[in-house]
A and B are shown apart, each in its own frame.
Chain A
């Protein structure tokens, strides 16, 4: 624990730049929820062995070798539902990952988890392999909303689950959604009070995103679902800032709140323009200005790996200026914003030179504030973060 807080309390999170980070996409789910557009297969657990074999092959293609393992500072298993596979499958996955990417001392190992998957056996297994951060897909704390979201747990199951997790994992985070059809501001505020009462180290709040090609978008078009009013969504977001802020959480990123020292170090690598390896379908990696995204389809990724073809679906080499502008987009998501000195050291560009056209207007409109040392989003600016970020691209 001491290790985590000593790195993350660094005010500009610069540690992210020297961190060795690995993301692994585990694309298995019991069911594809209506709002979800992540890469996954539901009801195809039979593909697990092929997935595992392909994963180890992908490690090797990228030059990783279990005889000379690569120690990592942050490891993140996302999905899909990484806790969906059976105990023995999960063990095999964790062994494979450990063989290639053992944890360095003080490393953060995060796993996304579905509450009902977390049997005592799986909890023990995750702990055995050094998982010290669980991100729980709770999403809502009202049963009718959980049903609408097609989640399999009930609200009442969360409290007791957390009591079982607390002694085992150094950090537990829960995801909560706002802007769900039918959700009122009162409902949301009650969820926030419930979450504060759980007294967890980390909370993520997400406004429901209506992604095209999801069942939700189809239902929206047919008029079966109503999209939450944008004003209401804004109020819900402000309520999250207010309730969680008052409870001592740092709103360290647009969607993330943490007790000091419990920020997700893996995600800070993304938001600070750092490098990270990534494996599995749809996984995205970054190495010194080259960004690659694997093919999104699970079967497409499998067959590419198996036939020895490249699994990269999209790749781009960013020129220095694009890279610098991208960093503005990313760091504006962080509470400290773009720190001028650190920015010019990292990119070779002076922030003010890149922002000459837009800065004055955005400051005047009250969406950005300038502390001299840094430029960051105001409270109002956080509500319109995409708009502000787009100005700098």
Chain B
């Protein structure tokens, strides 16, 4: 077993795009864990969707050996996602560490998620080491950034480390600080085993791979282990560490981070947050585990081909094993048939899951527009939660309609206060406070209906502030509001999967915007298609999709029949991703049209 006093466990917390992944890779490079060639790619982001989007979604754990002052240290590095949707993953990772590097961009300075993540680390009793990154940028604001770290987060910046992920400058200083400032893990190797499951993933060949951090005792190959929450026993077929690829080892002691392969293939038998102990020498009490995260956004996911339903269920199960913050339940729609109602932490989380389903599981999906969970008080005083607009009862039986409210912090350049205040006011927000973080940067706090926030506020903020504004939010409760269910009719028939819940004051604008968007998304047919929005029996908006008048290619490209046939086959292929509704074919994307707000015009 590795000398416990020479083990260090740390995370890097940062706002998105502050260079976390590049700096992480520099640390791996400097400690010899990866080669120059591997460094070229963002190694820790091994999900395809992460590479495509350049973001970290899932936490990752890597062990490296590093020689400092002649002594070999084992440094376990637990990577964390930076986006607000994945805050839950961050807190999980932090629980497996004794320290964290707080990474701040030398030009952008402290941002909304810097604050949120720094507080999360401080609350988890971690030693937080401030690091100013990207010091090689042509323009930096280092003195102001240091002041922001001191005043906003309250960290001493006397010994701040200055790094560049790009050039590798300061990376050794980081490693030295990790060794000198972060305490070695506590825990007695002689005590009964207690290891925290902080992640897991499904591997087609090896079954469930469980990521653990040993807190007490010793975990070894061949051991019979016991999961305390699920009360299930398993045999350890293999244990190992990520260096950064899976490398087997004999045992893991207190403070060490690694993986367990038990050969378990059945989904749902391993729970993130559970405690692993020795089957014969069980710990008395489990580790605290994790809070179950609150799903904020719900949408329907339906297989385009109805025979994919069972396959989709299996894939969703695998996905939820890998991501405890995602939930699903079977659901049906008149328009879309059998499918699932799925819950997510936020919009990015939803997009990531959808993309992973399509890429990894190869299921073609129709996804309905996302919505938040509402609360209804019926005339009989019964209180119900509604996460699907189809379930809204008749207006007559609703006593009170309530919506979730979030407290939102924006950090932005002070010259953009006006447009953001206006945006929040337009979105039925309640203004709380303004705090200046420096002469040119300000933190605004608003209360906003979650529904007005989750879908596009982040994009709006980015566009208004040219990318310099950031935000973070938490849901604080439910409040009554004048909400109505808006139905969409296509060629006279109500399409339940297009229904949505809107505030009465913006219903007409939204209705017009949704109809207009649907007109763009639904391709023309050989007949006219009226698109209408209604509240109850009252039509509030209408568009008409005109009929196709001519669609025939004159020439047959000489004798090149293949080319002609392929063109037509492509035309036909496009229709496969559509759902036939009556005589009208509605493409997948149209079901998201409901998100159109009509704010642009």
Say yes or no: A387 contacts B549, CB within 8 Å: no
Say yes or no: B526 contacts A384, CB within 8 Å: yes
Q: Which of A206, A231, A293, A384 lies in contact with B551, CB distance below 8 A?
A: A384
A191 to chain B, nearest CB (A): 15
Say yes or no: B551 contacts A383, CB within 8 Å: yes
A76 to chain B, nearest CB (A): 9
Counting CB contacts under 8 A, is B552 at the interface?
yes
- Give the docked Cα–Cα distance between A231 and B550 (Å): 7
Task: Tally inter-chain residue pairs, CB-CB below 8 A.
Answer: 100
Interface segment among B101-109, B555-563, B591-599: the answer is B555-563
Say yes or no: A389 contacts B561, CB within 8 Å: no
- Give the docked Cα–Cα distance between A283 and B557 (Å): 10
Say yes or no: A390 contacts B572, CB within 8 Å: yes
A residues less than 8 Å from B563 (CB atoms): 284, 293
Say yes or no: B549 contacts A230, CB within 8 Å: yes
Q: Which of A23, A38, A333, A384 lies in contact with B559, CB distance below 8 A?
A: A23
Q: Which of A291-306 contact B (CB under 8 A)?
A: 291, 293
Which secondary structure characterizes the binding site on chain A?
A: mixed
B residues less than 8 Å from A234 (CB atoms): 549-550
Chain A contributes a number of interface residues (CB within 8 A of B) equal to 45
Counting CB contacts under 8 A, is B422 at the interface?
no
Q: Which of B549, B551, B559, B560 lies in contact with A386, CB distance below 8 A?
A: B551
Counting CB contacts under 8 A, is A391 at the interface?
yes
Counting CB contacts under 8 A, is A233 at the interface?
yes
Given the interface contacts A231-B549, A367-B526, does A389 sit within 8 Å of B568 by beta carbon? yes
Counting CB contacts under 8 A, is B186 at the interface?
no
Closest to A255 in B: B554
Closest to B556 in A: A270
Say yes or no: B526 contacts A78, CB within 8 Å: no
Interface hub of B558, B562, B563 (most chain A Cβ within 10 A): B558
B residues less than 8 Å from A127 (CB atoms): none
B93 to chain A, nearest CB (A): 49
Say yes or no: A316 contacts B561, CB within 8 Å: no
Say yes or no: B568 contacts A278, CB within 8 Å: no
Say yes or no: B555 contacts A206, CB within 8 Å: yes
Counting CB contacts under 8 A, is B565 at the interface?
yes
B374 to chain A, nearest CB (A): 40
- Give the docked Cα–Cα distance between A185 and B568 (Å): 29
A residues less than 8 Å from B551 (CB atoms): 383-387
B residues less than 8 Å from A365 (CB atoms): 526
Given the interface contacts A386-B571, A390-B568, A393-B569, does A254 sit within 8 Å of B561 by beta carbon? no
Q: Which of B548, B549, B558, B564 lies in contact with A329, CB distance below 8 A?
A: B564
Say yes or no: B555 contacts A209, CB within 8 Å: yes
Closest to B554 in A: A206
Say yes or no: A285 contacts B559, CB within 8 Å: yes
Say yes or no: B561 contacts A384, CB within 8 Å: no
B557 to chain A, nearest CB (A): 8
Q: Which of B549, B560, B571 lies in contact with A284, CB distance below 8 A?
A: B560
- Give the docked Cα–Cα distance between A216 and B526 (Å): 28
Say yes or no: A333 contacts B562, CB within 8 Å: no
Question: 0/1 per residue, A214-250, Cβ < 8 Å to B?
Answer: 0000000000000000110110010000000000000
A residues less than 8 Å from B526 (CB atoms): 365, 367, 384, 387
- Give the docked Cα–Cα distance between A237 and B568 (Å): 21
Counting CB contacts under 8 A, is A66 at the interface?
no
Say yes or no: B560 contacts A382, CB within 8 Å: no
Counting CB contacts under 8 A, is A314 at the interface?
yes
Counting CB contacts under 8 A, is A122 at the interface?
no
Q: Which of B413-428 contact A (CB under 8 A)?
A: none
B559 to chain A, nearest CB (A): 4
Given the interface contacts A234-B549, A385-B551, A386-B551, does A326 sit within 8 Å of B558 by beta carbon? no
Closest to A333 in B: B556
B residues less than 8 Å from A385 (CB atoms): 551-553
Which 5 interchain pairs have the tightest Cβ spacing?
Answer: A385-B552, A206-B554, A234-B550, A284-B560, A234-B549
* 20 extra A-B contacts, CB within 8 A, seeds A255-B555, A267-B556, A365-B526: A205-B554, A206-B554, A206-B555, A233-B549, A234-B549, A237-B552, A254-B554, A278-B558, A278-B559, A285-B559, A286-B559, A286-B561, A291-B562, A293-B562, A333-B556, A384-B548, A386-B551, A387-B571, A391-B572, A393-B569
Q: List 17 A-B contacts (CB under 8 A).
A: A23-B558, A38-B558, A205-B554, A206-B554, A207-B554, A234-B550, A267-B556, A283-B558, A326-B565, A367-B526, A383-B552, A385-B551, A385-B553, A386-B552, A387-B526, A390-B572, A391-B572
Q: What is the interface of chain B, defined by CB distance below 8 A to chain A?
A: 526, 548-565, 568-569, 571-572
Q: What is the interface of chain A, defined by CB distance below 8 A to chain B?
A: 23, 25, 38, 78, 205-207, 209, 230-231, 233-234, 237, 254-255, 267, 270-271, 276, 278, 282-286, 291, 293, 314, 316, 326, 329-330, 333, 365, 367, 382-387, 389-391, 393
